[in-house]
Structure formats: C-alpha cells, structure tokens
Homo-oligomer: A and B are copies of this chain.
Amino acid sequence: MKIISNPGEQKWAKLTGRPKTNQTKLMDTVNKIFYDIHKKGDRAVKKYSRQFDGFDNDTFLVDNETIQAAASGLSEQLKQAIGLAKANIGKFHLSQQLTEAKTETSPGVMCWREARPIERIGIYVPGGSAPLFSTVLMLAVPARIAGCKEIVLCTPPDKDGNIHPAILYAAQTAGVTQLFAVGGIQAIAAMAFGTETIPKVDKIFGPGNQYVMAAKHAAQYYGTAIDMPAGPSEVLVIADETCRPSFVAADLLSQAEHGPDSQVIFLSNNKKILKEVNKELTLQLDNLPRKEIAEQALKNSKAIFFNDIATCISFSNRYAPEHLILAVENPVLRSREVTNAGSVFLGNYSCESAGDYASGTNHTLPTGGNAKVYSGVSLDSFVKKITFQQLNEEGISAIGPAVEIMAETETLYAHKNAMTLRLGDVAGKYLSATSTDQTEKE
C-alpha cells in the first residue's frame, strides 16, 4: 500500500471519496426486466433465468426434500459452527427487543410505542464463487425473532440448478419459509411484485452486485422497502504501537479478498507500524487463494500517517466506514469519538471476521459513506414501531385549548372542532357533577 503522510483537511474530501458508478444505463435494463416480470410473472422470470444464469428448471421452488437432504452433505463441525453462530446472532438481536415504558406527557395524556413484525420479508443471497450462507443466518435469524410470518429466500443456482448445501442448511435452521432458485434482477423484481409462484414481500434484504443494487433501487421506487442502499465492502483500520502488525495485515486482506472494488484504508500515528503492516501484507498475500483479487483491491487502497489517533478518528468519521477496527490503546474509551461507522471492532482480538460470522452482531452494514445516516441491519429492520395514545378527561383539559389554537392558526377548523366537541363534553360533565354536588348539599 502506498503511504500518504499527514494530508491536510482540504485533501480529505478526495481521500474519503468512493469510486462513482454510473447506474443510468443499468437502470434502463432493470426497468425493462421489472416491467416484463410485472406483466408476465413466472414466464418472464424463467426467460431471464435462462438468459443470465443458464438455469432452465421447470420450477424455482426448492422442495423440502432437497433442503432436508442438504444436512447430510455437511461436516458435523460446520453444522456445529452454524449452530453457534445462529445462537450468538439470536442472543444479540434478542437483546435489542426492548419494551418501552408509557409516557404521561401531560396529565391524562399517555403515549407509547409498540413493535409489530413486518409480515413478509425477502432475503437475497448472491451466488458466485463464495456461498454466502452466513448472510442467510444474519437475515433470517432476526426476522424469525421479530416474528415475520413469511421469510422468502432467493438465490441463484449453478448451471445444474443446484444451490450450495450450506445455504440450504442455514436457511432451514434459521427458519426460512420458502426458498427459490432465482438470482439477479429477476429475483428482486419477483419479490417486489410477486409472481404465480414467488410471493410478493414487504421488504427486501441482502447484498448483491451492481445489478442487484440497481434492482433494489427500483423495488423501492415501485413501493417495496429495502434494507439499505449497498455498495462494495469496506474496512478502515486505525492502529497504534500497541497493535499486532500481522493481525492488522490479515484484517486488511480479509476485506481486500472480497473483490477488486473492495475499499481498504489503514491509518496510524506510527510510521514503523505502517511499514511493518506493509511488509506483513506482502508475506500473507502470497499464501492467499484469492491473491489476485486482493492485490487489485490493495492497489486502490490507502495507508495514511497522521500525527495522532484523534486525527485518525476524525478522518474515519469523515469516511464513515462500513467496518472500523480500532487496534489502539484503550479502544473502548477511544470509541466514544467515533460518530460514523457501521460496526466497530475494539482491540487486537476483535477481528472483522468474528463479526462477519459468529460474534452475534449483524454483518449487513451501510457502505459508501451511508454509515453517516443508516444503521446496519438489526431487529429494528424487521419491525415497525406503532405509536399509541390515550387521553382521558384530564388529558382533554390539559392540551385541548393548545390544540384548538394551533389548528385554528393552521386554518384547519375541522381539526379544531374535533377537540372543541370533546372539551365541551368534558366541561358538561364537570358542570353536571358540580350541579349534582350542589343539589346534594342543598
């Protein structure tokens, strides 16, 4: 990695920028496929599956027998690992299930929120070289905890129509309700509109290449929610003299091996560490099966020296990385300065791959600077929170006159009248109660 030394703040905008992708042409393709699938349903899905994936089965639905059989193709060790990951993801997402107390904002005015599951969710799991069964766990486990009724999964099959057994096993163990061998734009369109066999869902989750990303954009435009805008994966590592250069290099490479467009940034306040990490990168790179991909990614990467860790964190906040590793002294204390990041890994033993698979945190995280605004996927992503309010007579008296004058100022007289009628009713009750009292006294 090329080392940049102490770049001034005027250079940060450029250094924290991401490569731009032009989606305009892509959107034309996406819109055409969406239109076709909206009109022709399964028939169009089949056409595009044949065209893009060379897949020509009669049905997309993967039957239960096939899913059940997947377990026998996996080692006991892997099944146990999946079990542990599932348990930890479950524990952490369950901890996000909070009941909020009711708040009495004015006397007699009770307000509160309650969560309700989103009924039907769709999960997209990309195909390609790596069978991302961990993504199945990251999305289906919290969906199940949230109480989603339908958990639909689409993933592209290989040329023979097969899906990796680890994906099938993870889907089964995590509670996916229907699984379809469909990929790409056509999978997203099918879940957005619904077809004869693939159900329409309310919200679509999951990663994907630029086609899938563009398709999720379109799904959102046509009225189906999505988890978040997505892009190439990123890591930013901040390390000081307490770090382990071999660990840092391994973490940078785990990001770089994702794809040639992966974003890798390394910041340090120690020039020796920067050099040692670079040396370690060269050593470790040689032993990687995905060496070529990682090498390409590293070419676009940056190693930057800043005078102090505080400046490293300021730069990181400007960049807003998907993953941030703080391999520094007192990492928890330091983490308070972090304002923008998807997920933060604290200290030398907290490697990104821990969170990618089994620590329990979600690995579906905002990329491309979206961490400035978006949270990663959590239990909240699978529910909506409904507000409730209940006013009694006292509540009407407490806020009624304020509501009246505000509505009147906004020239919304029916809004005012709805309160005036209730105020009149409460006053009437009070008067009649008073007159009853008087009668009794007389």
- B-binding residues in A (CB < 8 A): 75, 77-78, 80-82, 84-85, 87-88, 91-92, 95-96, 98, 100-101, 103, 105-106, 109, 111, 113, 116-119, 129-134, 166, 202-203, 217, 220-221, 223, 225, 229, 244, 246-247, 250-251, 253-254, 256-258, 284, 287-290, 294, 331-332, 335, 338-362, 366, 370-376, 378, 380, 384-393, 395-396, 399, 401-403, 405-407, 409-419, 421-422, 425-426
Knowing A81-B405, A81-B406, the reply to whether A254 touches B358 (Cβ < 8 A) is no
Extra contacts besides A254-B415, A349-B390 (17): CB < 8 Å:
A77-B401, A91-B103, A92-B105, A96-B113, A111-B359, A131-B409, A134-B410, A202-B372, A217-B221, A287-B417, A290-B413, A332-B390, A338-B386, A343-B388, A353-B403, A357-B399, A361-B389
Contact B391 A343 (CB under 8 A): no
Chain B residues contacting A359 (CB-CB under 8 Å) are 105-106, 109, 111, 389, 391, 395, 399
- Total copies of this chain within the assembly: 2
Contact B384 A374 (CB under 8 A): yes
Contact B166 A418 (CB under 8 A): no
Chain B residues contacting A339 (CB-CB under 8 Å) are 116-117, 119
Chain B residues contacting A246 (CB-CB under 8 Å) are 421
Contact B98 A100 (CB under 8 A): yes
Q: How far is the CA of A98 from the CA of B98 in the complex (A)?
A: 9
Distance in angstroms from A136 CB to nearest chain B CB is: 11
Q: How far is the CA of A390 from the CA of B333 in the complex (A)?
A: 12
Knowing A105-B91, A247-B422, A405-B78, the reply to whether A84 touches B376 (Cβ < 8 A) is no
Contact of A414 among B129, B257, B402, B419 (CB under 8 A): B257
Q: How far is the CA of A419 from the CA of B130 in the complex (A)?
A: 18
Contact of A343 among B352, B374, B387 (CB under 8 A): B387
- Give the most central of A109, A374, A388: most B CB within 10 Å: A388
Contact of A354 among B109, B331, B409 (CB under 8 A): B109
- Give the most central of A223, A335, A372, A384: most B CB within 10 Å: A384
Contact A106 B118 (CB under 8 A): no
Q: How far is the CA of A355 from the CA of B419 in the complex (A)?
A: 11
Closest 4 CB pairs of A and B: A105-B360, A81-B402, A250-B418, A88-B105
Contact A419 B389 (CB under 8 A): no
Knowing A353-B415, A354-B391, A384-B374, the reply to whether A405 touches B77 (Cβ < 8 A) is yes
Chain B residues contacting A370 (CB-CB under 8 Å) are 225
Contact of A130 among B352, B390, B411 (CB under 8 A): B411
Contact B354 A389 (CB under 8 A): yes
Task: Give 25 pairs: A residue, B residue, CB < 8 Å, sorted on A.
Answer: A84-B399, A87-B105, A95-B103, A117-B339, A118-B372, A118-B373, A131-B409, A217-B221, A257-B415, A288-B414, A288-B417, A332-B388, A344-B388, A345-B390, A346-B389, A347-B391, A349-B393, A350-B389, A357-B402, A358-B402, A371-B384, A371-B386, A375-B386, A380-B380, A380-B385
The closest CB in chain B to the CB of A23 belongs to B221
Q: How far is the CA of A372 from the CA of B225 in the complex (A)?
A: 10
Knowing A113-B378, A354-B391, the reply to whether A418 touches B247 (Cβ < 8 A) is yes
The closest CB in chain B to the CB of A289 belongs to B413
Contact A331 B113 (CB under 8 A): no
- Give the most central of A246, A253, A350: most B CB within 10 Å: A350
Chain B residues contacting A77 (CB-CB under 8 Å) are 401, 405
Contact of A111 among B81, B253, B257, B361 (CB under 8 A): B361
Contact B105 A406 (CB under 8 A): no
Knowing A91-B103, A101-B95, A402-B80, the reply to whether A391 touches B350 (Cβ < 8 A) is yes
Contact A406 B85 (CB under 8 A): yes
Distance in angstroms from A310 CB to nearest chain B CB is: 17
Chain B residues contacting A391 (CB-CB under 8 Å) are 347, 349-351, 354, 359
- Give the most central of A130, A338, A387, A412: most B CB within 10 Å: A387
